[in-house]
Each structure stands twice: as C-alpha cells, then as structure tokens.
Amino acid sequence: MPKRTLHHVMTATIAAAGALALSAGGAVAQTAAPLDYVALGDSYGAGSGVLPIDLSSPLCLRSTVNYPHVLASATGARLTDVTCGAAETKHLAQSQYPGVAPQSDALNADTDLVTVTIGGNDNSTFVSALTACASAGVLSGGKGSPCKDKKGTHFDDQIEANTYPALVEALRNVHAKAPGARVAALGYPWIMPATADPSCFLKLPVASGDVPYLRGIQAHLNAVIARAAAETGTTYVDFTQVSEGHDACKASGTRWIEPLVFGTNIVPVHPNALGERRMAEHAMDVLGLG
C-alpha cells in the first residue's frame, strides 16, 4: 500500500509538471501581439536623403531605414509609416500632395504607439534660417553675426506665435484619433555645435556669431515641442544631451546630421543613417521599448 501510494503521488506530480510545461509552452507560443505602430512627421522622421528610398510614396522621399523602420525592426512592431519630407504640422490633418492622405488618417482605435517628428518646416523655420544665415555668412567671410543682426527675433517670434499652437492642436488630434496609443513627440538632434568651429565653415558657411544664434533657434523649437507634449499628455523624446557632439560639423561616422556641402546624403542638413539609428535607439530607451 505505501508503495502504491508513493507511485500515485509520483504519477500525479509528473502529470502536474507536464501540465505546467504545456501551459508555459502555450504562454510562449501565445506571445503578445506586435505593437500597432504609426509613424508621423517630416523629413527628419522620414529619413529623407538616406538610401534606399521607399518607392511606395516617392514624393515623400521616405527612407526604408529611417528611425521608424529601425524601431519597428528592433521591437517587432507592425509599422505604418506615413512620414513625409517637407511636411508641416498642418499636414498631419491635411493632404500634403495630391494622392497623399493626411497623415493622421493612418491612426485608429487599434493604434498602440505613435511617434511624431514635426514643427521644423512650419513657417519654413529650418530652411529660411539656414538659407539666410549661410548666405550672410558667405558675404561676411564668416565674421560677426550678420544673420542675427538682420533677423533678430524673427524666427523665434514665429515659433512661439505659430508653431506652438499648431503643435498643441495636432497632438490633441493624434490622441483623439488613437485614444489607446502611447504618443511620443521627438525633438530634433543638434544641427549646429554650441560655438563656431572654424574648420566647419566650408561645410556649413555660417558666420561665427550666427552659430549660437541658429542653435538658439533650434533650442527654442525643441522647447516648444516639449511644452506642447507636456500640455497634451504626450511623451517628449529629448535629444539635447545624446546628440551633443554629433552635429553636422563633426567627421563622418561621428555626426548624425550631414552638412550643407561635402556631405554624404542626397538631402543636406538632415540625419544620416547613423543619426536615424541613434534617434530610434534613444526613443526606445525613453519609451521603455527594446
């Protein structure tokens, strides 16, 4: 009798262990569904200038190795990438080109994650500021601060008056269209160093006094994005620290942003492939993905 009882106990134990193993196996087999991830934004999100190009929407000059693709590949997320070069904040809700739907149309109640990189093209801030300061820099031979002297607070005033309220409205619309999603607004990695680098003038012909001026404009834009994110319950991904020392004046292999001339991208003053990877990695760190 004792032997039989022991046999029964052992049999029951083995059966229970097997059931647990099957249950564990089932849990492994039934892994969580991949994140439904939608990427919105402009050329910094699209990776414009980084080859290869996504031929499904050639007007948008979107790369297949931009930060949304890197993030999706690393996390197994199911990506819908509607980022588009030259997009302004308004193009999250309006069509940018004929046949190109408003970006927020990609959102729905099933969306789990949204990343947004937008604001730099509003008021043509990036293009206008860089063009004005590069032109002034060439004419001044790199001396002084001719761009700041001429433009003053013009760009900052536009960012505050126009870009900030547009961002708040756009982010609220994103949350409304994807109410169950975690929404992240990414800032822009540094384009300029903190102070002038004389060896960089041929690549970025900005006068020495206008280098901190341009950087200040970018800092203001990032601060506005952060403020709009905080106001709308959006996670802000800050590149202030991690992109320091990786600006367009640095050597290839170190810089995340390509210079105006003598760069490697087909679109200058935009992130290269390294920059897009680092943007993805930092976004994943901030969002707790990986």
Query: Whole domain around residue 19: which residue ranges?
Result: 1-31
Number of domains the chain is built from = 2
Question: Is 23 in the active site?
Answer: no
Q: Quick one: 117 and 230 in the same domain? A: yes
Burial class of residue 105 in the structure, from the number of CB atoms within 10 Å of its CB (0-12 exposed, 13-18 middle, 19+ buried): middle
Question: Is 270 in the active site?
Answer: yes
Q: Quick one: 27 and 122 in the same domain? A: no
Q: Quick one: 5 and 124 in the same domain? A: no
Q: Quick one: 283 and 173 in the same domain? A: yes
Per-residue confidence (pLDDT) for residue 30, from 0 to 100: 52
Q: Which residues of the chain have pLDDT under 50?
A: 1-29
Q: Quick one: 21 and 74 in the same domain? A: no
Q: Quick one: 24 and 126 in the same domain? A: no
Phi and psi at 153, nearest 5°, equal -95, 10
Q: Quick one: 146 and 247 in the same domain? A: yes
Q: Quick one: 27 and 49 in the same domain? A: no
* Given 69, 91, 246, 270, the catalytic residue: 270
CATH label of the domain that carries residue 140: 3.40.50.1110
Tens-place pLDDT, residues 81-138: 999 999 999 999 999 999 999 999 999 999 999 999 999 999 999 999 999 999 999 9
Per-residue confidence (pLDDT) for residue 31, from 0 to 100: 67
Q: Quick one: 105 and 184 in the same domain? A: yes
Q: Give the global pTM.
A: 0.88
